[in-house]
Structure 1
C-alpha cells in the first residue's frame, strides 16, 4: 500500500512536471508566433479604496471569440473585466461596457484614465511623469458598477483569425453588428442578463454605443438603462441647422481656449467660464449663425460688426476673422491663437502647447496633446497587462490599430439611439464634454443632444455635463473626481424603483 502510494505520488509528480512543461512550451509558442488563443482568461484579485470604502474586486483579462455566420471563429476580442466581489447578489448590480473610439483606438484611454480601479500615473493636469506606471484610482465607479473594457478588432490585442475578412469589421454598421453579437455572448457567459446595463463610449465610441443601443435592443432584445457619450461626434445626424462640429458651432470652444491661454480682451478675460460661455453660446445661435447664413450677401456694416464680436470672443485679430469670411476654421485657430508667442495649441485638448519648425503657415506640425497621451498611456498599459495582470505575449498592443479603409456609409447611429430611447422608457443618456476639446467641441455636443429628439418629448432623459479640460476630461484630477461622480449619480437616477413599470403615462 505504501509502495502504491509512492508510485502514485511519483506519477502525479511526473504529470505535474509534464503539465508545467506543456504550459511553458505553450506560453513560449504563444509568444514566438505572436498570436493569442481565441478564448482564454487570466483571473486575479485586488482591492481599492473608493470614497473611503475598501472595495475588493476580481479582474479578468482575456480574449473571447467573434463568431461568423457559420459558427466558426473569425476574430478574437481582448478585454479586461472588473467585478466587485463582496456583493452577495449581483443580479441587480449595474454593469458598464466601455469602448474608446478612433475608429482604431484601443480601450486603454478610459480603462487607465477614467473609470477603472487602476489609473496611470500623470500630473494633476494630465501630463506624463516618470517613472511610468499605474496606481489605484480612488474615483473609480467600481463601487457602484462592474466594468468591462472591450477592444474592437485590430485594437489592443484583438485580431482577425482564420477565415475572417477585414470588410466584416471595419465600418460603422459592420462594427455595430459584430460587437452586439460579442456583447450578447459576454453577458450570457458572465450571467448578467438581470443586471442593469450601460454602454459608455468616447469620441468615435459615441456613434458605436449609440448604434449598439439600437442594435442590442432590436436584434438581441437586450434593453439598457443608460448610455454615456463622452466627447461625442455628430452621430451621423443631419439636423435642420448647421452640421455638428462646424466652424460656427466652434465659437464657444474658441472662447474657452482663448480664455485658458489669457488671450481674451481684459473685460472678458476676468469673467469666469461659467458666466462667459452661456453668453457666447447665445450669440452663436442668435446672431452669428444668421449672419453667416447670408453668405456673400451680408451687408458690409453687419459683416464688420460680426467680425469685431467674433474676434473678441475668439481672442483673434479682426482682420484674421475677415480673411476667413467670419468663419475661422479650427485648423487655422490652433495655429494662430498663440502664434506671436511661438506656440501652437492642441486639437483634442487645447490646454497643451506645441512648437513648430516655423511660426508661419496655417497648420500644426503635430498634435502636442496626442503625443503627450501616447507618451504616458503606452508604457502604462503594457506594464499593467503584462507585469501586473500576467498577460504575457509578444503580440504588439495596438494603441491605434490598422482599421482602414473604414466604411462610413449609412451612419444612422443618432437615430438608432433615439429610436431605442423612444421604445424603452427606462433608457437615459448622459453627455460629458471638456470645454477645451477642439475636435469634438462641447457646444457641438450640446447641439447634437438638442437635436437627438426634435420632438422634445424625451428631453428630461438627456443630460449634459461640461468640464474644464479637453477630450479626455478625466486626465485632470479635479475633473476625474467630478465626472465619475456624475456617472454615479446618473446610475442612481436611471435605475427605477423596484416594481415601477417601464411605460409612458400612468
Structure 2
C-alpha cells in the first residue's frame, strides 16, 4: 500500500475442508510438510492452494464464507511459467449471482496487500492500540467492518511482493514497470474470474497509494487486453498526478494543494482539529496562498503578513517560512513538529523524537513506514499459516524497496519519468466509455505525502458530463493509513457500502 518515498493460468490444486459448526471457529487446512525447493527453484517453496471455511459476524448476522490462500501462474509466449501470483480470496457462501467481487492491491511500487488486508477490508484486522501501539505485540481480531459483508474479496500481491515471485530475478524484473505491472494484474484478475465462473459478477478494483494509480491502469488493461469491464474503482490515499508529488519543490499549484493537509496535521498535533475549519483553509490555499507564491515576492510588511499567516497555519516559525518564500512542504516534516521531533509524511498529525536532531535535513527512518506498520507483514504470515493453512518457508515480503528502485515509470527510472506519470486521462476514458463506471477516492486529512487536495483538483477538473454523480471524494481524520483508527475505518466501511449499493442514477 505504499508510495515508497525516495519517498493469479493454472490454479494449483486446492485442498477442500468441510464446514464445521460455528462455535468451533475457523476450520484450517490440515498440516502438511513444507515442500522442498524443486526444479521450479524459489517457486517450489509455494504450496498447493489452501481452502478453509469460516463465519464472519456482520451487522446483518453471521456470514459463512470460504477462504482460499493460493497462487495463480503467469506464463510467457513459450507457455512456460514466468511467475506465480499469491492471492487470498474470501467468497460468501450461497452468494447471489449479482454479488460484487473486489480485487485489491497495495502500492509502493513494491508493497504487498497485507496493509489493506489486515487494516481495512479483510475479516481480520490488526489493531495498533494498547501494548501493540508500536506494532511490537501484534494480535489479530475479528473485523466487524469487513467489506466481505457486501462484496467478495480477492487480495493480490504483485510480483516481488508478499509470496509472489518471478521464476528468477531476470523474469521478475520484467514485471517492474507501470504497463508491465498493469497487464500482469489484469491477466491475474481475468484468470481468477474465468477459473471461478465469475464473468457475470460486477468487478471492482481497490488500490492504495500507488495502488490507486495501478487500479486505473489495470482497469484500462482489463478492458483492452482481457476484454473485461470494471464496474468501478475505490482508491485509498492515491497517487493520481506525478507532477504534484514528484515535480519541482517550488511549484505554486502543488504547494497550494498540499497546504490544507499541512494545516490539518498541525491542528491534529494541537488537539484542536475540526473538519469544519478546513473549508476556509482550502479556499485560502487557492485564493490567497497560490497567487502569493506565483507572483514576485511581496515587499516589507505585506510579505511579513503572508509569512505570518503560513506560520499560523503550519506551526513553523515565520522566519523559517520566510527563508522558503512560503514553499514549506520540503521543511515541514523535519521542523514543524518542534525541536527534537520529526513528522512522518504518511501521518504528520503526530510528532516523534528525531533520531538525528543535529542534522540539517531529515535522516530519520519514517515513523509510519519503517515503524509500527511493519507488523502487518509478520502478522499476515502467521495468520496465513495458522488460520488459512498456507504453509511456506518463503519470506513474506511486505515492502520490497528493490522493486521500487527498479520500477520503470515511462520507459525510465528517473525523477522526470515519475513526474509525468498520470491517470487523469485513464479516468476520463473509463468514465466516457463505461457509462456505469464509478469512482470513489478516500484520503486522510493529515497525509502530506499524497494530499487530498491533489485528488480533489483532479476530480474537480474532470468534465462534469463524466463526473456528475459518478465520482466522490471522502476525507477522514488521520494520515495515509487513516484506517488504523477504528472510527475512521468504520466511517469508510459505511461510505464504501453506500458506494457499492448505489448507482449513477441514484
Q: Same fold (TM over 0.5)?
A: yes
Q: Does 1:471 align with 2:480?
A: yes
Change (3 A) 1:496 1:117: farther
Matches of residues 165-180 of structure 1 in structure 2 within 5 Å?
165-180=171-186
Q: Does structure 2 retain, via aligned residues, the 8 Å contact 1:429–1:463?
A: yes
Partner of 2:288: 287
Q: Does structure 1 retain, via aligned residues, the 8 Å contact 2:263–2:314?
A: yes
Q: Does structure 1 retain, via aligned residues, the 8 Å contact 2:244–2:254?
A: no
Give the counterpart of 2:142 among 136, 141, 151: 136
Unmatched segments (≥5 aa) in structure 2: 1-30, 412-420
What RMSD in Å do the two structures reach over aligned CA positions?
A: 2.8
Partner of 1:68: 76
Distance 1:334 1:319 in 2: 16
Larger-Rg structure: 1
Matches of residues 264-343 of structure 1 in structure 2 within 5 Å?
269=272, 272-296=273-297, 298-330=298-330, 332-340=331-339, 342-343=340-341
Change (3 A) 1:238 1:329: closer
Change (3 A) 1:245 1:214: farther
Partner of 2:435: 425
Superposition deviation, residue 189 in structure 1: 0.7
Superposition deviation, residue 229 in structure 1: 0.9
Superposition deviation, residue 300 in structure 1: 4.4
Partner of 1:440: 450
Unmatched segments (≥5 aa) in structure 1: 1-22, 264-268, 498-506
* Structure 2 SS opposite 1:371: coil
Give the counterpart of 1:483 among 486, 492, 495: 492
Change (3 A) 1:38 1:422: farther
Q: Does 1:397 align with 2:405?
A: no
TM-score (norm 2): 0.84
Partner of 2:345: 347
Q: Does structure 2 retain, via aligned residues, the 8 Å contact 1:127–1:373?
A: yes
What is the total number of aligned residue pairs between the two structures? 461
Distance 1:349 1:126 in 2: 18
Distance 1:117 1:479 in 2: 17
Distance 1:441 1:238 in 2: 10
Change (3 A) 1:243 1:158: farther
TM-score (norm 1): 0.84
Superposition deviation, residue 31 in structure 1: 13
Change (3 A) 1:193 1:468: same
1:114-167 CA-partner distances (Å, limit 9, x unpaired): 011111242189834664231110100111100000000000010001696244
Give the counterpart of 1:41 among 49, 56, 62: 49
Partner of 1:54: 62
Q: Does 1:259 align with 2:260?
A: no
Partner of 1:7: none
1:459-497 CA-partner distances (Å, limit 9, x unpaired): 321101111111111110001111111111100113879
Q: Does structure 2 retain, via aligned residues, the 8 Å contact 1:106–1:156?
A: yes
1:76-95 CA-partner distances (Å, limit 9, x unpaired): 110000001133x3x21100
Q: Does 1:408 align with 2:409?
A: yes
Superposition deviation, residue 301 in structure 1: 4.4
Distance 1:412 1:468 in 2: 26
